Each structure stands twice: as structure tokens, then as C-alpha cells.
Amino acid sequence: MLRNSFSRYGENQSLVFAGEEERTYSQLEKEVNQVAVQLICSGITKGDKVAILSSNMPNWGIAFFAITTIGAIAVPILPDFSPSEISNIIDHSESKVIFVSENLLSKIGLSSSDTIKEVISIETFQRISGQAATENMVAAIIPDDIEIEEDDLVSIIYTSGTTGKSKGVMLSHKNIVWDAEHGGLIHKITSDDRFLSVLPLSHTYENTLGLIFPVMYGSSVHYLKKVPTPAVLIPALQTVRPTAMLTVPLIIEKIYKKQIEPRFNKNIFISTLYKIAPVRQLLNRIAGKKLMETFGGELVFFGIGGAKLDGKVEKFLREAKFPYSIGYGLTETAPLIAGAAPPVSRLQTIGPAMPGVALIINQPDPKTGQGEIWIKGPNVMKGYFKEPELTKEVITEDGWFKTGDLGSFDQDGYLSFKGRLKNLIVSSSGENIYPEEIESIINDFKHVVESLVIERKGKLVALVLLNMEELEAKYQAFRGQADLYNEKLNEMLKELLEELQQYVNSHVNKFSQVQLVIVQPQPFERTPTQKIKRFLYS
């Protein structure tokens, strides 16, 4: 795949920082080969593991391609992992070399692992610590006799899921190349496309679809030097004018709730008009045009994955004619399983199975058609590293991977995601309660930022994070009188929570009604793909 891209798209822009120096595919090839030779000189051979602990940058891709083109196995580590988690991953994977970015160097320490023989700066590719190269790098070349089969491991990606335990997912060269290639059948891209990367490359979502996919078709990928806050992201959008982006729901939900929705609720007149369907559609269309301008004006594919998108936000995107697309997948499936291009997407559904993937709903409920999503295809992982028993639990003898997700199909074969099987709450009367559905209703309520529905002592409890800035602004006049201010604020909170409980319970069935609403004092802890770590609150 790489050789093909290097030869076909040699003069095209490849991996760069947004608005900075150019790097053609020919230059990319030279840099990949240089780092590959460096690894060989450091004693890395086929099958050895090499870790990458880095924020997003062009050199991340160079390191990844250098590792994998000599038959070694990349171990991407999520930057948000704690030092102890990173140390465990390095030891468990038996990584011999690690590429690390300057901002994360403190997380590993220079002697944090017995397996690491060399620490390399990913910014400069200079050796920070470890053994000196054993050969003359100038004279060294990549041997011609390195044979890499499509079923050989390309990476071991350690998940950071909502259940707390990190597992090493073994993906082959075929897994990721096949998945990227067939993702191109859902949405076609060309060498003229420009990707703006905002998700961590160490997650398979961005790794396959934000790196392998665009490189396969000669597109350019642009990276940010800082965390994608609005102050960093908006100028980059205007500079790059991306045609494609991959995001998680939280990003677009924040934009909607902080920048778009307040404009529709700024006074009674506009909020009343907004409730009239034709007027709402017109206002959403106007807002959609402004949103497109914010994203650079040339966006044709805005992929959303990693979690369920808020229904209210999706309805806005649809009426705004914003080119969003919902994708579904897991680390274990390299990752894409199902999706639909923007022109054929449907509200609150994901889309049909990706070509070449078999999808079934195992033991569907006769009434609802819902059941666990099972998948079979060339993108299914080889298993969990050093976890044969755990692998047997999720992959059947005839090759079906059990996703642990609940879903259903409509009459046209479009998949809908219901929630995680592990999150399912069974009521005392035996009814299935889907917390994600209740949370989507709560999140539509005024002043709610996000929520989590859990079961405590047989009761359905909603933990709710409120926009306290909005609420406190209502009582600014009482700031000088602390006691009165606190009294007024507490009264309002009590009324708001009671109103919220009544609102939610009027929108759900009897056994899904919330019995207690509690204010969540700080934002929920999240995984790198912005899913709430439910196990911390259950």
C-alpha cells in the first residue's frame, strides 16, 4: 500500500502541520526509510515490538510506517494513560524501543521498564537514552529479505474502555489495510482531499481512517501543534479548509450546545418561532451555512464515531444540511463495521454493513428485534495479546466476533445502536432498561451538559452535570449577599432537578423512570474517545 502511494502520489502533499512546511509523498518515503534503517541499526527485527507514546504530529505516522515496513509491531499508547498504565503496557507488550514526544517524556522515566533498550525523541528521531547504534547508519539499508505476510501483526493497540481493564488488541496488516480500503467504498476520497486530524492517532479510529485511509489515496493530513481548543482549531480550519474530518460526538455536541442552541433561546420571540417546524428548518439551514464557514467552507465528510450522537444534535445537523456521517466500529474490528455516506445517512441510524462485512443480530428479541451485534470479516482482530481465554470468549469457533453492543436492523438493513450490553440494566420485573436512551433525553433538558444513568440499591439514579455558569448568571445581583445568593441558587437547583425528573419520566416507559436525580459536581472522567468511564460511577 505504501509503495503504491509513494510511486503514484510522489509530488502530493502528505503529512504536515497545519499551515506549516510542506512534505511530499516522496519526502515522506525518504523519512520513513531513514527511521526504518535507524531501527534496524538499533537491533529491531521482524516481530519485535516498538511503542509510540506521542501527541499527534507528522512524525507519528513516519514512526508508525518505519516500524511496520520492517516487519516490527507498533504499540501505540494513548497519551492520556497514566504513568503506571503506560509502564504496564510497555512491560506487557515487551516493547524494545519507544518513540516519545517531549511533552510525554516525564510519563515514562528513562529506566521505567526492563524491556526498553532505547528511548527515541519523536520530534527529532534522536536517541534520548539506550544503546548506541551498532552499525554505520549512513551505509545501512533496509534488507530485501524482510518478508511480511498480510496476516502478520502490524500493531497491538491497548484499549481504554468504559469497563476499566485495558486489553491489547492484535491487528494484522490485512485488518487495517482492508478496513481502510473498504471504508473508501462508503465514502470515496481522492488525492485532492485534505484531512484535519483532531483525534489521537494511538486509537484505531484515527489510526486506520485518519492515517492509513488518506495515505492509501494520496490525500494530505494536517495536524495541530496544540490541543484542539476553539482558539487553536478555528484558525486551523480556515487555513487547511479540510474536506474531511473524523470526530467523536462530544466535539460537535459542545459546538451545538455552546454556540448554536443559545442563539435559538436568547429571547422568547425566537424560541417560540423555533418551535414551528418550517421556521426551525429555515433557522437551522442558516446556522448550518455559518457552521460550514467556520469549518473552512469545503467540508464534504464529517465522520462521527466512538459513541452515540445526541438525537437533538443530529436532527440539527440534518436540517442544517451539514455533511455528517455516523460510523460504527470497535478497536477489535480495525475499526469500521458499518456506516453511510452523508447523502444517504438516516436520522438515528448508522447505516448498512461495510461491503465485505457480515453483520447479524444474535438472538434478537422477538418484539423489538434487538440483540447483540456480531460481526465476521477480514477486519476482525487476531485476538487479545497474551489473553487466549479472553479471545475465546469474544470470537466464536466459526469466526464471529461478539461486539458486546446492542443493536437492530431496519427493513433496509440500516443498523441502529442501542447501547452497550454491559450497561444494560434489568429491572426487578425483568424489563430491559437502556441507560443511554434515558441519558439522551436528560441531555436535551435546559442547562444540562451531560448525564449518566446508573443503578444504585435497586433505584435508577441520574447523575447530572449542569452548566453552573448559566445558572449562577441569573443571580448576579445577589453576589454581594452570600447567604441570600446561596439560598436563591439552592432553591433554583432544587426546582430544576424536580422539573428535570418530571420531564424525563414523562418521556420514558414506567420501568425506565428515574427515581433520584443528583448533581454531578465535576465533569465525568472519559476515555480518549470521550466515552464516560462508567465503571467509576456504578
CATH number at residue 401: 3.40.50.12780
Nearest CA to 171 among 312, 66, 75, 37?
A: 75
Look up residue 356 and give its three cell numbers: 465485505
Half-sphere exposure of 73 (CA within 13 A, CB side): 23
Nearest Cα neighbor of 337 from 407, 247, 244 is: 407
Q: How far is it, in rounded angstroms, from Cα 436 to Cα 452? A: 8
| Residue 87 forms part of a structural domain | yes
**Confidence band for 489, pLDDT divided at 50, 70 and 90:** confident
Largest pairwise CA distance in the chain: 79
Task: Tell whether 386 and 523 lie within a shared domain.
Answer: no
Same-domain check for residues 442 and 417: no
- pLDDT tens by residue, 427-478: 877 788 989 989 999 998 988 999 999 999 889 999 999 988 888 877 676 6
Question: Same domain, yes or no, for 414 and 448?
Answer: no
Please check the confidence at residue 91 and state whether its pLDDT lies above 70.
Answer: yes
Task: Examine the pLDDT at 110 and tell me if it is beyond 70.
Answer: no
CATH of residue 444: 3.30.300.30
Domain final residue, candidates 378, 399, 421: 421
75 and 29 housed in the same domain: yes
Evaluate whether residue 195 is within a structural domain: no
In a domain, 201, yes or no: no
> Is there a domain that residue 129 lies in?
yes
Cα separation, 378 vs 376, in Å, equals: 7
- Which three three-digit cell numbers place residue 521? 459536581
CB-CB contact of 225 with 59 (8 Å): no
pLDDT at residue 134, as a whole number: 47
Helix 482-505 with 435-442: angle, nearest 10 deg: 130
Q: Are 246 and 303 in contact (CB under 8 A)?
A: yes
What gap in Å lies between CA 350 and CA 344, rounded to an integer? Answer: 10
Q: What is the mean pLDDT of the chain?
A: 91
320 lies in some domain? yes
Does a structural domain hold residue 166? Answer: no
Of 174, 244, 251, whose CA–CA distance to 209 is shortest?
244
For residue 335, is the peptide bond before it cis, meaning its omega torsion is within 30 degrees of 0?
Answer: yes
Residue 143, Cα to own-chain centre: how many angstroms?
36
> What is the phi/psi pair of residue 469, to 5°?
-60, -45
% of the chain with per-residue pLDDT over 70: 95
Name the residue with higher pLDDT: 135 or 480. Answer: 480
If you average pLDDT over residues 496-509, what whole number do you get?
Answer: 94
- For residues 411 and 431, membership in a common domain is answered with no
pLDDT at position 262 over 90: no
Task: Give yes or no: residues 305 and 362 share one domain.
Answer: yes
Which among 378, 396, 421 is the end of a domain?
A: 421
Last residue of a domain, one of 148, 166, 182: 148
pLDDT digits (tens, 9 = 90+) for 503-531: 999 999 888 999 999 999 999 998 876 78
Higher-confidence position of 8 and 456: 8
Cβ-contact 240, 20 below 8 angstroms? no
Q: Are residues 381 and 439 in the same domain?
A: no
Please state the pTM of the whole predicted model. Answer: 0.89
The Cα–Cα gap between 337 and 417 comes to 12
Q: Are 417 and 430 within one domain?
A: no
pLDDT in tens, 156-200: 999 865 455 679 999 999 999 999 999 999 999 999 999 999 999
Q: Does residue 365 or residue 137 have the better pLDDT?
A: 365
Q: Is residue 94 part of a domain?
A: yes
For residues 303 and 285, state if they share a domain: yes
Banded model confidence at residue 318, pLDDT cuts 50, 70, 90:
very high
**Is 212 part of any domain?**
no
- Give the mean pLDDT of 91-108: 95
The pLDDT assigned to 140 comes to 64
Strand order in the sheet with 358-362: 358-362, 371-376, 401-409, 415-420
Q: Do residues 464 and 348 share a domain?
A: no
What pLDDT was estimated at residue 111?
46
Q: What nine digits make up the cell of 318?
A: 440534518
Dist CA 529 CA 538 (whole Å): 20
Residues 6+ apart with CB under 8 A from 256: 310, 312, 313, 316
21-36 mean pLDDT: 96
User: Regarding predicted confidence, which is higher, 21 or 48?
Assistant: 48
Q: How confident is the model at residue 129 (pLDDT cuts 50, 70, 90)?
A: confident
Please give the average per-residue pLDDT across 258-269, as a whole number. 87
One domain for residues 397 and 513: no
pLDDT of residue 488: 81
pLDDT at 80: 87
Structural domain boundaries, residue 503: 424-536
Q: Do 122 and 260 belong together in one domain?
A: no
Cα(221)–Cα(513) distance, rounded to whole angstroms? 46
Alpha carbon distances (Å) from 50 to 36, 93, 168, 261, 264: 12, 9, 14, 46, 51
Facing residues of 19 across strands?
none
Domain count, the chain: 3
Mean pLDDT computed over 379-393: 97
Name the percent of the chain lying above pLDDT 90: 72
pLDDT at position 144 is 75
**How far apart are the C-alpha atoms of 133 and 348, rounded to whole Å?**
55
pLDDT of residue 3: 94
